[in-house]
Structure 1
Amino acid sequence: MIPILYDYNETEFKSNGLGLLKDCTSCFVEEERNETYEIELTYPVGSFLYDKLKGNRYIKAKSNNRYEPQIFRIYYVSQPINGEITVKAEHISYKLNDNFVEKATCNGNCQTALNTLNSNAAFPTGFKFYSNISMNTNFNVELVNLWDCIKGTEGSIVDTYGNGTDIVRDNFKVSVVQNGGQDNNVLICYKKNMTGFTCEENWTGCITRIYPYVEKDNVRFVLPEKYIDSSYINRDPNPRIAKVDFSNYFQDDEEFNIEKLRILAKTYFKENNCDIPSLNYNVEFVLLSQTEEFKNILKDENIELFDKVIIRHDLYGIDIKVKILKVKYNNLLEKYENIELNFTKNTITSTINNTNKKIEETKEELNKKNNNLKVTMEKRDSEIELSVKNEKEDREASIKVLDGKIEEKVSEEDFGSYREQTAKVIREKVSEGDFSTLVEKNAQSVLIAIKNETEMNVIFDSDGQTIKNGALVVKDSKGKTVMRFNKDGTVGVQDIEVINRDKYSALYRTLSNMDELWFRDVGIDHLVIENDAFYIKDDDFGKGYNLKHFIRMVLKDEGLI
């Protein structure tokens, strides 16, 4: 989509506004679950609307494949660098930061709390609010901007009605819901549509002991034992302790119940996974429905923030369904650049452990079936290697995953094949003794090499096809050679037709500059030649003549002159 620019006082956003930002060189939208939602674009200096890109104006652009194009308000315009400016804008929902709530109090579900905020705003918001969270509790905020009332920390909508809530922003509609996405069983799989996979471990906020309490009528109630421990309490040298307020789980007219607080506290770790570090996975991929091969088969393939997707990576032993945490969308190409997923370490560890268990079971089964097979899986700091070796048949297959590189190898007696893959190059080699073939591919060229007596190699690149130490043979459908380029530079062809036959052609220049040219028979329709250029050799007289002298000599010899 071509982004559209609007003036600061636009309210409808249905026309083309100030115009289309048609010279935009890049335009990316990033949205993180319940956090930032921004657009960043680059624009050439001096292009159409360049001088109109100013703060507080609006940009409409596509940010995903599910919702209509979204509105963003410009908050940053850079100085020109290398002939371009960078423009940043935040989602229209951030206008709620401009509004203010002096005080808002209610008792009810999340929709009631949102309505209360909206009606107590300092000026009309222009937004619609929605929630499907039915839990009833007390809600109270004071002297806070409207966005912080929803997304802030302690006492906000998300904090009060939280535990997994998602903020879905669709232009002037803000929804606080239990599950903001869909589950369409979309699979992102290694060697299928996954193009990148990285992981970050985060221990921030990890706790193993909580101090649960309830406050009612200015009285604080706690458990007799004071603390509740996580099952990971002995993992660290000392406990990681935090207080947790469970007051919202008790109605105003409900008496404090120690056992209820104890149950709430014991389930807190399981429901929040706060006792284990989180693993953020950045997955780069391509939707198969956006490729030529699958576009007519997978028309409904669609993902968005908050959706659950299946991540499958055989090399890491991962096969799990997780929620999308963050997305980066290319507005100009209308496709996702990457997504980030978030799931806790115990989940992924359990998954990997299950995979390791399956590997061990497979190894055991293989050993039962054939004692000649040796199966090895080694995990080191910087690599993972899996190999299967048949010691009796002298045959082995292995795969090694390193930092930034994958190596695959198969060998049997004197034969072997090898494949090496990095982000920049792929090398494939097949060998037999001292002879081998190699194929090397990168973004600019393809190399095909043969190691034998000739040491020939062929390179395909932007200059065309280059053959070193070898000949080029062209054959017809019956296998008959019709053209051959020899190693010494000579060429043999079955037949030849010269299209350009005028006096300025390369063929004409070549023939005219040859010292000698011999033919067995020559048929000429019309011959024009200069007298001095026509030379007749006559061995009887011991010298040569031009045409005129030769005719005079013949006539004289016959006595005619």
Structure 2
Amino acid sequence: MKPRIYSPTETDFSTNGLGILKDCTRCEIYEVANGKYELELDYPLGTRFDEYFENDYQIKAKPNDQEEYHIFFIDDKDIDTFLNTVTIYAQSRTNRLGRRVVTLAEVDSKTGQEAISIIETKMDKKSDIRLYSDITAVSSTIFEARNVLNCIAGEQGSLLQYWGGEIKREPFKLSLLKRRGRNNVGTIRYGKDMSGLKVKLDWTGIKTRLIPYADPQSEVGTTNRIYGSPVDSAYINNYPDVYTEHVQFTEEQGVKDIKSLNKIAKNYFKTINPGCDKPKVSITVEFDKLTDSEEAKEFAKIRNYGLFDTFKIYHKKYNIYLESKVSGLQYDSLSEKTLKLEAGDIQVAFYQQQAVTIQDKLKDYATNNYMSDFNDYVSSMITGQGSAGGYVSLWPKEKPSNIFIMDNPDLEKAREVLRMNKNGIAFSKKGWRGPFTSAWTLDSIFNANFIQTGLIKADIFQNSFNKTGDVLKLVNGLLQIWNNKKKIMELTKKGMEFWNSKGSIGTIGTTDSAGNPFPGASTPTPIEDNSLVIRTNGDGKYILISPKVGKGLVLLGNGKAIYFGDLDVQGKLTVKGKEIIPGQGGGPSGGGESTGGYPSELKTDAEKRAW
């Protein structure tokens, strides 16, 4: 197929676009499993297409034997003036998704289908390249400040890392599929390398004999290592030597004693770790370099295999069948033939290699979360030989659910113990078996009996101190009482200030806090520093002093006072300095003007009634 070229914005590729590149001398496509998808093209200089060989112009070409065409956009070129040619470098059109970004997308317990849909909806701008997945496995991750391609396959936390899958690229669609390739498409026989063929075996990690062991746990958390009988692979005699390893088994797998250990270990090569007794294989085939031998014809069969297809190789020397998967293709789009095929383990990104390395290292300490040796190491690291003021123990060692901080490195000899587990934090002065007094429970309740020294600093301290809706709060140094979500009292530097739903009613305090309401008064001793002040804030407020309902003294905000009930004055009664003499009908002392039983200063009916 001759390639076609299109403008950067073209989306209809059913036509010939800007033209057919009929003088193209080379057009090769490179695709790597879950990796690059690129085109290289050679074309003569000095044609009308020179002006189109610029960034983002699009090229249509046949990429493999399974698909009719794919679209690539130009991102670079090299000009050779000696040969008078230009080499065009282009990437899959789906790589334009690298220009779209996701600011924040949280994926919590979603399938691959749901996760890729979240990415699509969180793009900064809609793309004409649709995202799709058929993966139903559930996982979680967070994407923050990343481009869309990296969300799918590029960095740690990507869909490819957490959900797995095989990437398929189409002009208007990028898919993460559970399975893209075909299974067991054929079997080929291999005897030796030849021109155009290279088969490499990797013997790293191979096992043909294992010695099983386990560390059953006692009731107090100690372990006793046991060893089982050796187990041999069916291929132990196929290789020049025996590859022996110790393999740990766990209580989670059902190991309790030597008998159960041997019973479980005998299935290791069949069901627990199948394939570990065969070397890993990698194959490179350059078809045009293959000779015309019978063996070469065997490998010529795989020329039409597609990316991610699996097949078997029969290795004559070792008499074993090895499974392999196509991991890379180089395709001649002009002749429509595969030039080069690579098969073996799919290449993984650096972060995945790191994860595998870490996991393999942890297996030295733990299998199936069997944490005995690893927890010994962690306990030692945290404790620092007791130099930090205590000793730390993770218990039980194999399946830790408790952390003990003790005054002695020996769990049995420790007396003062702090214990942490899923129920909270507790203390004992009688050893690790208790009794324990809980300080902080898992549901965040703290026992205040444990606060015996120091300061508590907080913006808000709150407690409900009765069952009538009253709440006591300490807020930024102020003591407040709330009733049914309404503040009714506040203790501040002014004193005790009382509130209604609209604002402050009044204050009880001292002249320093509430102020002096009688600055011009003449008194035997100064009012300042010698007074308890009860005052309201403005008109419409009252001070009520009452022994019972309907009786008592009412002080109005405008300065007036009303007394309800009988008034017995034991002592002198003066009005504006004039003494009222009992028996004179209410008249003033020393004679003078009388108002018929009321002092002249009393004008209103209310004042007279009060008098």
TM-score if structure 2 supplies the norm length? Answer: 0.41
Q: Which has the higher strand share?
A: 1
Larger Rg, first or second structure (1 or 2): 2
TM-score if structure 1 supplies the norm length? Answer: 0.44
